[in-house]
Amino acid sequence: MSQFAQGSEAAVSAPTQHPRRARRKFNVMSIVGTTPMILTAVGVFVVCIIFSFIWSFTNSKLFPNFNFIGFDQYVRLWKSDRWNISVGNVFVFGICSLGANMVFGYLLAVFMDQRIQQEDLFRSIFLYPFAMSLVVTGLVWQWMFDPNLGIQSAVRQMGWTDFQFAPLTNQATAIYGVVLGGVWNGVGVTMAIMLAGLRGVDSEIWKAAKIDGIPAWRTYLFIVLPMMKGAILTAFILQCTGVVRVFDIVIAMTQGGPGIATQMPAIYVIQYITDRVNVGQGMAAASTMLLPVIAVIALQGLLQWRSKRKKEKAI
């Protein structure tokens, strides 16, 4: 009898102990596997960002030093015409290219959603620019916009001899030429994400809309589009990061010119760290560039938190 009681006691206590042990025990292999990446992430991103931030308060020239001069670098930064134009440019570039990117990305996704033949081929074509370096994209568009060998000369050869189309040579239009190149490069990715979102919509929603007699364009705009919040947000954030760090396409297309018409903050940072030998000023600009990125991430976090709370409330 006593033996039986002991046995049953052990049987009872075993299952309660087991999960506790499982919770404490980490998987050794997973730690070994992820450590290098964690170290890289912390080392490269966090530590480097912290040092950039610290050096932005110093008068570092060719080499970083620790002579702190307070906010002088930031004051100088915001007094600089070059920087202010850069900031203005990145806003114009951002609003235009994000807007065009989202609209055309969605339109392309809708086009791809029409059960067209050769869908894979078209998807590859639209995605292809993204696989190429922005330097290549920029160079190709620079040639296209070049008055002597691009679109303008081609149309002139066809007979319209007074045709003018050379956006990159004009200070007022150069930025829009860059926008065009950027959109062409990134729109395929937006399309792919939006297409995945479109395909994720329950087919019965489409059937219900058909029975209700809602035209396809209205279904796409008023029913399906709001259902794709997740896909839209993903595509948007992805493109946002591209806007803040826009650099290579500008270098390839205009080198920031004509004059300083297409200067961008990232170019400013690189120029001050290398050519102009002023690490402190470069770091101040870089730290300033970090602010909008943090703002976007915070916004996303806030939105997620709010939707989570809303869901919890509903339950």
Partner 1 sequence: MQHSVSIRDLSLNFGNVKVLQHLDLDIAQGEFIVLLGPSGCGKSTLLNCIAGLLDVSDGQIFIGGKNVTWEEPKDRGIGMVFQSYALYPQMTVERNLSFGLRVSGMKKDEIDKRVARAAEILQIGPLLQRKPVELSGGQRQRVAIGRALVRDVDVFLFDEPLSNLDAKLRSDLRVEIKRLHQRLKNTMIYVTHDQIEALTLADRIAVMKNGVIQQLSDPHTIYNKPVNLYVAGFIGSPQMNMFNGTLNGTNFVAEDGTSISVATYDFATPVSGSTKAIMGIRPEHIVLGEESRSMPFSADVEIEIVEPMGSDTLAWTKIAGHQVTFRCNSDVVLKPGQKVVVGFDAGRGSIFSTETTNRL
Dist CA 210 CA 188 (whole Å): 29
Contact between 312 and partner 1 by CB under 8 A: the answer reads no
Contact between 210 and partner 1 by CB under 8 A: the answer reads yes
Angle CA 128–168–140, to nearest 5: 25
Contact between 216 and partner 1 by CB under 8 A: the answer reads no
Is residue 68 within 8 Å of 57, Cβ to Cβ?
Answer: yes
Number of residues that bind partner 1 (CB under 8 A): 19
Contact between 226 and partner 1 by CB under 8 A: the answer reads yes
Find the binder of partner 1 among 120, 202, 275, 312 (CB under 8 A): 202
Contact between 69 and partner 1 by CB under 8 A: the answer reads no
Contact between 218 and partner 1 by CB under 8 A: the answer reads yes
Burial class (CB in 10 A: 0-12, 13-18, 19+), 160: exposed
Taking the complex as a whole, the smallest distance from the CB of residue 301 to partner 1 amounts, in Å, to: 21
Is residue 98 within 8 Å of 239, Cβ to Cβ?
Answer: yes
Within 119-228, where are the H helices? Answer: 119-131, 134-145, 151-157, 174-199, 203-211, 216-218, 225-227
Stretch near partner 1 under the rule CB under 8 A, chosen from 45-53, 160-168, 177-185, 218-226:
218-226
List the beta bridge partners of residue 58.
Answer: 68
Contact between 211 and partner 1 by CB under 8 A: the answer reads yes
Which residue, 132 or 208, has its beta carbon nearer to partner 1? 208
Cα 10 to Cα 14, 18, 223: the distances in Å are 6, 12, 59
| Residues 30-59 close enough to bind partner 1 by CB under 8 A | none
Tell me which residues touch partner 1 (CB under 8 A). 202, 204-205, 207-215, 218, 222-223, 226-227, 311, 314
